[in-house]
Structure 1
């Protein structure tokens, strides 16, 4: 964690040996395409889905180069076409499915910390770097080439918002006064600022996720979320795992399979979205708060002493297969319990005592 004076502090997010890995999206896409082809799939590039007839299991594609369209039949049409899914739109328009898109009040812009002159990392490569500043923050993750991909999350409007950051002087003053150690290692900041777009963030909620036995949604098409837990892609992969299990379970009845898929996955789609927004507030507002950091130390101590009674929320989400909906419910119960513990008189002096651990045992 980088404070406003450029001082660093370290916070472990898991037990020894637990780590979050940052991977190349392009590399992962390439790997999945290779695996798909090895298993008999045919891949078509530059084809954009522009329409669908879900009643007949057909999708219409337009070639980006020739603008020619073709109608493709299917036994099962899987809409993995992202936040602005054409398949989902068809479900909403023609089958009266529920749908809501909620754009949050913050936007984001990607920036880059370059590697050093010798290709070395200018920050610790084995850490998620956060510059928390209340309503806004910067995060940075290491790349393999010595650079860091960084993201500024800030309000659309108001003080310290994207709205007031336009000229070179405004942008450089903002970073110099609020993120001094960041701008010190980004020599071409304003050039990057102009070159990289400012993008919005939003949450997709829809239901059901299927139509009879012919079509379904997975990933962002069903539950696009904000990126503050780093679980968007994992949630999409979990959709695939659960769907695969249900196809085996209901091998003779596809409609029953898809109905159970919708019912079981919807709460977890909502859950990962609730978790993501909750973690956004923690990252930007609380990671610099001494009382919050003490709370996490108490939770960590209790979890080490009584692992069967307490798994911290972040660990539950990141290092277990606990369903997102269950993790959210457990996490909120834990938060209520910890508010009671943190209200204990002189908690800063007695937090390591047996008394506090025993009290937590009685409350769990």
Structure 2
């Protein structure tokens, strides 16, 4: 039984708006330090909804996320529902494959079914003394002056006074809207891609890898499910434009025909492809940025409410968890909510923008078809990493296997790519085959 889901108290000191993945994590951290935390969620308790009817099937855990779960005492429980993945395997149109390790030492990232992780986090928050979860309680408005929040419970609406508000309420954040009304500037957009999820058998695919099929304007990616022998796949098409796009193919049969034209080997192994495409929702990727994440000690944004990103680096949840941990560390250090919120925003806002840029670029990397110029630059960059491992670290490894700031990781990657382009410009196609001593000399003279 999940008991603490009644109407909110008449007054709440700390309110977390949103009970997605970041909300329960924030609530547990804060309750252990400050006592009572009220969590308000507009949707039904997902623990009462059959699996597979919510958001994307899979999420990725890497070092930043594990650090948070370890601090909360949840690491062991979460490990039991995860699958380790050591590399991604690209299945190219010519039938060849290209395996790219996630780290140089073989360390894995971890795939987990979103609904299983979400339920585990909610159960942990439910069991935490001081945390009070309330579902089907949409926050309609936020008054930053009072401060207070307007909540609907059934047909009744009321204002509830509070002291501190954490916006963990995603792309359509009501808390962010309140900051915008006070002068913050937001950017909210939709990626040109939409996607659908497909569950399929891939008997010849290694379950220790993530698999993807690039097609230029389309992409299919698949992760092994822990709860079955199948894979959870996602097909990405453009939202608008000529084929392949959702606008050019409406309905299960038309979509299935389009899918089969672009991914023939996959389509042949999915007997219920048309049915899945006809019944699974078409999801859109929303992007957000905001130039202000906090107001005094009253309100602060976390996760997708201030930096929703493309899903291709698997860092959205990890970044949100790291947001929460950074915020709590600032509260521990400053002992003053206004100073802590200001310091948190100073530390994290640049990182939020950086990982959003990295994630979008990673889609370009995964979806593109072979191109001689890009391949030459990539080959040089890889050789530099192999030749000088203490000097150059792959971008994915920086993001997934360290707690280095995303902005620093992006700056170092840009430096590496610029160096590769200069070498290519200076030596032409022969640059790819330069002897190691000459390649080292190129770095020294740069």
- TM-score normalised by length of structure 2: 0.73
Separation in 2, partners of 1:90, 1:346: 54
Partner of 1:354: 437
Partner of 1:285: 368
Pick which of 11-20 and 337-346 moved more.
337-346
Task: Identify unmatched segments of 5+ residues in structure 1.
Answer: 116-120
State the 1:16 CA deviation: 2.7
Secondary structure of residue in 1 paired with 2:205 = coil
Contact 1:109/1:199 (<8 A) preserved: yes
Separation in 1, partners of 2:209, 2:403: 23
Cα deviation 1:267-310 (Å, max 9, x = unaligned) = 11111111111111111115x44664565454444334433211
Cα deviation 1:186-217 (Å, max 9, x = unaligned) = 11111111111212222111121111111111
State the 1:171 CA deviation: 2.9
Partner of 1:24: 113
Partner of 1:316: 398
Contact 2:381/2:417 (<8 A) preserved: no
State the 1:233 CA deviation: 0.8
Partner of 2:145: 55
Separation in 1, partners of 2:273, 2:353: 37
**Aligned Cα root-mean-square deviation (Å):** 2.2
Q: Is 1:106 aligned to 2:193, yes or no? A: yes
Cα distance change on mapping 1:194 and 1:168 into 2, 3 Å: closer
Q: Is 1:97 aligned to 2:184, yes or no? A: yes
Contact 1:298/1:351 (<8 A) preserved: no
Q: Which residue among 411, 421, 442 is the counterpart of 1:329? A: 411
Cα deviation 1:220-240 (Å, max 9, x = unaligned) = 111111112111111111111
Separation in 2, partners of 1:202, 1:331: 25
Partner of 1:307: 389
Q: Which residue among 55, 76, 84 is the counterpart of 2:172? A: 84
Cα deviation 1:81-131 (Å, max 9, x = unaligned) = 1110111111212x121111122222222222147xxxxx45221112111
Contact 2:377/2:417 (<8 A) preserved: no
Separation in 2, partners of 1:18, 1:36: 30
Partner of 2:289: 205
Separation in 1, partners of 2:173, 2:251: 36
Pick which of 102-111 and 231-240 moved more.
102-111
Q: Is 1:190 aligned to 2:241, yes or no? A: no
Q: Which residue among 282, 291, 312 is the counterpart of 1:228? A: 312
Cα distance change on mapping 1:195 and 1:294 into 2, 3 Å: same
Structure 1: 4+ residue segments shifted above 4 A: 289-298
Separation in 1, partners of 2:343, 2:252: 54
Separation in 1, partners of 2:260, 2:357: 33
Q: Is 1:240 aligned to 2:328, yes or no? A: no
Contact 2:330/2:340 (<8 A) preserved: yes
Cα deviation 1:22-43 (Å, max 9, x = unaligned) = 1122222222223324432122
Structure that is richer in strand per residue = 2
Cα distance change on mapping 1:212 and 1:168 into 2, 3 Å: closer
Separation in 2, partners of 1:169, 1:222: 38
Partner of 1:118: none
Partner of 2:205: 123
Cα distance change on mapping 1:172 and 1:24 into 2, 3 Å: closer
Separation in 1, partners of 2:199, 2:192: 24
Contact 2:377/2:424 (<8 A) preserved: yes
Instruction: Give the aligned length.
Output: 353
Separation in 1, partners of 2:102, 2:402: 14
Matches within 5 A, 1:5-44: 5-40=94-129, 41-44=131-134
Separation in 2, partners of 1:200, 1:349: 39
- TM-score normalised by length of structure 1: 0.89
Q: Is 1:152 aligned to 2:227, yes or no? A: no
Pick which of 348-357 and 220-229 moved more.
348-357
